[in-house]
Amino acid sequence: MSDTVLRFESVSLHRDGQSLVKDVDLRLAAGQMLAVLGPNGAGKTSLLNCVNNVSDYSGKILLQDRSVAGFSPQQRAKILAMLPQQSVLNFPFSVREVIMLGRFPHKTGFTVDTAITDKLLTMMQLTTLAGRCYTSLSGGEQQRTQLARVLSQLILDADMSISSGSVLLLDEPVSSLDLSHQSSLMILLKEFCAAGLAVAVVLHDLNLAAAYADQCALLKEGQLLVAGSPDDVITAASIRHAYGIEVDILAHPKTAKPLVIREF
């Protein structure tokens, strides 16, 4: 694939004598959504953290065929955004102000930044909360606000265009969202993918991954068990291997995507 925007080449990460990521090879193409799956402690977060150069990994990670360390912080931030699993923000910013913080790497000016923020507020269904204090929001509302913030980081202008080859890393972005917001977020992300954005998203809901992701990667104990299309990855055998539970895989009655049925 020539349009690979993010490439992991035998990436390993050790910390405190523990091996968190072992020899992972993975690629993410422009416009695609990659679901990163696996049980707790499988190394999903550690793998994403390697991308932003915050951990001393071995191996290679190439962003648009260049080492991530070769970008200046501002250059990098315009094409690579990351939403961590948990963010603690104790200062009384309004929802709008939090989203505006995502404009940090850009010098587009207040008017453009406000226009972008307005559109994101609408997209994330946050318009009625725009003036509310972030600390007074529910967990799900905070998560949507933070999502709008990382999206605003990658947007170039008031037409909501993004630089081709941009990469968005999301660590469990739907963990606090209700069913309706889970779907609307995934649909919104697919729209950004259609505009060229590559998304790597850590998910626990295998059915959500099967329904929306173009590619899946299943990790266990730091190792990549299998990567490929949802049909190839979400199988009874691989799930037994990764999670140690028995499941049945049906075809979704409407979409024919794999549907995981647990045996309780």
Partner 1 sequence: MPTLLLLMTPLVLFLGLCVGPVAITPPQVLSQLPYLLSSQSPAEPNLMSSYAIVRELRLPRTFLAWLVGSGLALSGAAMQGLFRNPLADPSIIGVTSGASLGASVAVVIIGPQIDVWLGLSGLVVGAFIGGLLAVLIVYRLASETPLSAKTGSLLSGQGNSVATMLLVGIAITALAGAANSALAFVADNETLRRISLWNMGGLDGANDQRLIFGVFIILPAMFIVWRSHRSLDALLLGESEAHYLGVNVSHLKRLLIVMVALAVATSVALAGVIGFVGLVVPHLLRMVVGPSHRQLMLCSALAGGILLVLADVLARSLVSPAELPVGVVTAVLGAPFFIFLLRQRRSHGLQ
Closest CB 187 distance from partner 1, rounded Å: 24
Rounded CA-CA distance 68/52 in Å is 7
- What residues numbered 87-126 form the site for partner 1, per CB under 8 A? 87-94, 97-98, 101-102, 104-105
Closest CB 117 distance from partner 1, rounded Å: 14
Rounded CA-CA distance 200/24 in Å is 15
Question: Which residue blocks in the chain are alpha helix, DSSP H?
Answer: 44-51, 73-79, 95-101, 110-123, 139-154, 179-194, 206-212, 230-233, 236-243
Binding-site string for partner 1 from residue 4 to residue 33, where x marks contact by CB under 8 A and - marks none: -----------xx-----------------
- What residues numbered 201-230 form the site for partner 1, per CB under 8 A? none
Count of residues of this chain found to bind partner 1 when the rule CB under 8 A is applied: 36
- Both tokens of 218, joined, read 């299943």
Q: For helices 139-154 and 110-123, what crossing angle results, to 10°?
A: 130
Closest CB 61 distance from partner 1, rounded Å: 15
Rounded CA-CA distance 92/228 in Å is 43
Closest CB 263 distance from partner 1, rounded Å: 36
Task: Out of 39, 59, 84, 140, point to the residue binding partner 1 (CB under 8 A).
Answer: 84
A 10 A CB-CB count for 147 gives 26
Rounded CA-CA distance 83/67 in Å is 21
**176 makes contact with partner 1 (CB under 8 A):** no
Closest CB 208 distance from partner 1, rounded Å: 24
Closest CB 141 distance from partner 1, rounded Å: 14
- What residues numbered 48-77 form the site for partner 1, per CB under 8 A? 49, 52, 54-56, 73-74, 76-77
Nearer to partner 1, 152 or 215 (CB): 152
Rounded CA-CA distance 145/151 in Å is 10
Q: Which one, of 173, 177, 85, lies nearest residue 139 by Cα? A: 177
**Chain positions contacting partner 1, by CB under 8 A:** 15-16, 49, 52, 54-56, 73-74, 76-78, 80-82, 84, 87-94, 97-98, 101-102, 104-105, 132-133, 136, 149-150, 153
